[in-house]
Amino acid sequence: MSTSRRDFLKTGGALVVGFTLVPRLAGAQPARLPGSLNGNRRLDAWIAIEPNGRVTIFTGKIELGQGIGTALSQIAADELDVELARIDVVHGDTACTPNEGQTAGSLSVEQSGTAVRFACAEARHILLSAAASKLGAPATELKVSDGTVAAPGGASVTYWDLASAADFKREASAKVTPKPASARKWVGKSVGRRDIPKKFTGGAAYVQDLRLPRMLFGRVVRPPSPGATLTAVDEGAVKRLPGVVAVVRDGNFLAVAAEREEQAIRARETLKRTAKWTETASLEPSGDALFRHLMSATAPAHTVVDKTSPIAATPAKTLEAVYTRPYQCHASLGPSCAVAQWQEGALTVWTHSQGVFPLRADLAKAFAIDAKRIRCIHAEGAGCYGHNGADDVALDAALLARAVDGRPVKVQWMRDDEFQWEPYGSAMVMKLAGGVDAQGHVVAWSHEVWSHPHSTRPGSSSGVSLLAARHLAGASPPPPPNDVPQPAGGSDRNAVPLYEFSSVKVVKHFIVDAPLRTSALRTLGGYANVFAAESFVDELAAAAGVDPVEFRLRHLKDPRARAVVEAAARRAGWQPRGGGGPRLRGPHAQGSGFAYSRYKNLACYCATAAEVEVERATGRVRVTRVVAAVDAGQIVNPDGVVNQIEGGVIQSASWTLKEAVGFDRTRVTTRSWADYPILRFDEVPDVEVVLLDQPNERFLGVGEGSQGPAVAAIANAIAHATGTRLRALPFTPERVKQALSAKG
């Protein structure tokens, strides 16, 4: 790392340091490089060897609880032959890290890990070449131990001695082969997460903990409903309150900054009390009417897959079913927060955005300034795995900071801000139809999905995807949303079956007009589509009179898919059954269910078996045990993978049993935890994870692998326990009791 770049990081300057690419002959096409190295081709964009004996790895991916910093350290330590403790990781800083877009889609290890592996392998090669020259020995005869390079005769030199001689100011070639699995010391080993100690001990771990000299505290007063217009507010009454430094009113944007946080909260309450708004009934119907509304929306039917076998048999039995998912929140325990400061026309923002470069681009458009005048620095926040209010609150903080003469301002949303204004996971409808032949094989399969957008993150080439930009007098409209294309998919993610079915048709209805704000919630459409598809697989298995696990295996050819199904069934002690009937009828019905998916049809393989108890009198469902078998390709940190799968199962159980956003035709009525219950500690199931490591395979994303199979396994277990199939999420006690009563 150059002296200027190191000093820049220390001082927290606001201007962007760029990397100049090596000139290339006109018209020459660069060779494709692995992972994120392809879009960030400078070697010194990824790694720096420090004279003080440290190694710095730079990544555009950010830490949000998935352990990416620890995993990247393990990869780098192996390729460089240094101890793990020597490595520092800089995450998501527009001044000094590669631009890797969003940290999303379970792609961090797959994209950034691959780039770091090849960059470090090449860096080691360069260092060994420099050492060979200094030691007068062939590079092939040199040995490296914790950054010390030794020649056969005993002479040695360290990486730190070579830091000035090793030239990383070049374009990466990716021509140096990384180490084979057998030569790795750290990859494949469970290593303690480096981000945990401060979180566990109450240290300054989060952006909420950030304290800067002369920092002010801000709060925002949002409109009471989408489309509401501010007509009057008593600014004078607020400005007279103790500690108030500034009140900002710009169109429908209303905010306050104060010397102390409790003063800002008190001022916000006064602003809310005196503000007058006009509102309109602009929202969709709620309850069951919402799903009828979605299915009747004007949205073209886009055929995703249409495959028909000319020799497909005629179905002996056919079924049709409709499954639904409500709007759901990220529901982070810590509300969104950011700190912003303007100095000499330049803006610095400390943010827990999952994409600091896309956020910078939208902030530049919102303020009509060059993006080079903005620096976005990632600071951890409460994890959310998706697009919550982290980007929005950055603009809130920047708007307030602009009004206070260079002082930094920290803005934290209140709980009602978070529930009413964060982007939700879209409500969805999935209509499935299919048939089995006389031998119990699926010969017809149809999956049709209706959904609002699942990706309205910042970074579009047009418009501004930040909440306050909609509310300013000179409003910047959001860009028109697009669905994530296949093969990853957005609304149709995981709607294409991986089973060998004779005839398959998948159709999506992408409903652009979303009265409630929607965007990425962990797995996008994958959670709901796997719920529907794997529930329907069980329904077809029951129609065929075939055990659900056997039914899946007879339609799977991929050996890795079969392996996770068999491993989950084996660890769960699965008892084969035909037809899927309930095991026990009584006050506490017990049942088991199974499901399988490969996230995005591209990432990790995951099969789950769930056990539930259903209290028939109250309808209360308790998930008692979940077994998950996972193939994530080459595993970097086994304990980290287990953490991700466990967390995904628990989050999925919460979505499945409890979570739904409430609203009427005018307002969102979900404003507190009382309105939006989540899974409690005493409701968490026992989760067992079986890892099928593939050390010679590529990395496969794992963070979003278990949510879909978990919901479907729970749904299938409830059906097994009660003999009643639930197709509308969430499975609240009221809904379960109603279904059981209807069955009689």
Report d(CA 323, CA 283) in Å as an integer: 22
Full set of structural domains in the chain with CATH: 3-195 (3.30.365.10), 207-279+330-421 (3.30.365.10), 291-326+425-455+490-743 (3.30.365.10)
Which of the 8 DSSP states describes residue 617?
T
- In this prediction, residues 2-24 reach a mean pLDDT of 39
Which residue has 């392998």 as its token pair? Answer: 121
Question: Would you give the DSSP letter of residue 84?
Answer: G
- Give the pLDDT mean for 631-652: 96
Give the whole-angstrom CA distance, residue 354 versus residue 104: 7
| 22 pLDDT above the threshold of 60 | no
More confidently predicted of 346 and 298: 346
- pLDDT of 275 strictly over 90: yes
Mean per-residue pLDDT, 723-738: 97
Average pLDDT over residues 689-707: 95
Predicted confidence (pLDDT) at residue 18 exceeds the cutoff of 80 = no
pLDDT on residue 11: 40
Per-residue pLDDT reduced to its tens digit, 643-685? 999 999 999 999 999 999 999 999 999 999 999 999 999 999 9
pLDDT higher for 606 or 741?
Answer: 606
Orientation of helix 114-135 relative to helix 68-80, angle to 10°: 30
- Over residues 513-533, the pLDDT tens digits come to 999 999 999 999 999 999 999
- Residue among 122, 109, 150 at smallest CA distance from 44: 122
- What global pTM score does this model have? 0.93
pLDDT reported for residue 697: 94
What band does 585 get if pLDDT is binned at 50, 70 and 90?
Answer: low
Assess whether pLDDT exceeds 80 at residue 66: yes
Q: What is the model's pLDDT at position 1?
A: 44
For strands 143-145 and 148-150, give the pairing: antiparallel
- Return the pLDDT at 131: 95
Radius of gyration of the chain, Cα coordinates, nearest whole angstrom: 27
Q: What is the pLDDT of residue 8?
A: 42
Mean pLDDT of the chain: 93
The Cα 219–Cα 242 span in angstroms is 15
Selected residue with higher pLDDT from 10 and 712: 712
Where residue 326 falls (left for φ over 0; alpha for ψ -120 to 50; beta otherwise) is: beta
Question: pLDDT of 80-118, one tens digit each?
Answer: 999 999 999 999 999 999 999 999 988 899 999 999 999
pLDDT band at 375 (very low <50, low <70, confident <90, very high): very high
Q: What is the percent of the chain with per-residue pLDDT over 90, rounded to a whole number?
A: 88
Instruction: Check whether 38 has a pLDDT greater than 90.
Output: yes
pLDDT digits (tens, 9 = 90+) for 548-569: 999 999 999 999 999 999 999 9
Cβ-based neighbour number of residue 31 at 10 Å:
11
Is-contact 607 568, C-beta < 8 A?
yes
pLDDT single digits (tens) 165-214:
888 999 999 999 999 999 999 999 999 999 999 888 888 889 999 999 99
In the chain, the amino acid numbered 326 is P
Contact 43, 170 (CB under 8 A): yes
Q: pLDDT-derived band of residue 383, with 50, 70 and 90 as boundaries?
A: confident
Res 687: pLDDT = 98
Task: Give me the DSSP letters along 26-60.
Answer: TTPPPPP-SGGGGTS-BGGGTEEE-TTS-EEEEES
